[in-house]
């Protein structure tokens, strides 16, 4: 039933204008649809939906993940240059340096949007 259907990430934010600036200017996403209290950003072959909610920032787990392949170091450096701070998590068998967690060849980075939603990048495709 759902196995052949696309899915999208959806993120609650407190201030839609602030979120739009972050997702457009900092992350470089393009608004595909502006529905007033809901924005849909094109991201690869899917969409990232951002909506205004009083519950914004209450999720303490990953809200969205991007598999960015070998571009992860360049993307992390670009985001750091735009003022993004990266999270550091103590994970068994994982090294951390320059915003990147490394487990063998696999690399991961976590950062937060202005509402504290956790966004994740990894070197998967």
| pLDDT given at position 62 | 93
| pLDDT given at position 7 | 84
Phi, psi of 17 (to 5 degrees): -65, -45
| pLDDT given at position 4 | 84
Which superfamily does 9-122 belong to? 2,3-Dihydroxybiphenyl 1,2-Dioxygenase, domain 1 (3.10.180.10)
- Give me the residues of the chain with pLDDT under 50, please: none
Q: Quickly tell me which residue has 């920032």 as its tokens.
A: 57
| pLDDT given at position 73 | 96
| pLDDT given at position 87 | 97
| pLDDT given at position 86 | 97
Nearest to 117 by CA among 70, 57, 72, 64: 57
Angle at 86 between CA 22 and CA 21, to 5 degrees: 5
CA distance 97 to 47: 30
| pLDDT given at position 3 | 87
| pLDDT given at position 82 | 96
State the first-to-last Cα distance of the chain, in angstroms, to the nearest integer. 25
């Amino acid at each position: 039933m759902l196995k052949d259907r696309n899915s999208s990430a959806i993120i609650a934010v407190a201030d839609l204008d602030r979120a739009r600036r972050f997702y457009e200017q900092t992350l470089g996403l393009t608004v595909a649809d502006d529905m007033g209290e809901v924005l849909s950003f094109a991201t690869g072959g899917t969409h990232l939906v951002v909506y205004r909610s009083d519950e914004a920032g209450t999720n303490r787990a990953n809200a969205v993940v991007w598999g960015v392949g070998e571009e992860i170091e360049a993307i992390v450096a670009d985001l750091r240059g735009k003022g993004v701070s990266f999270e550091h998590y103590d994970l068994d068998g994982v090294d951390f340096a320059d915003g990147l967690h490394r487990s063998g060849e696999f690399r991961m980075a976590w950062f937060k949007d202005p509402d504290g939603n956790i966004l994740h990048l990894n070197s998967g495709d």
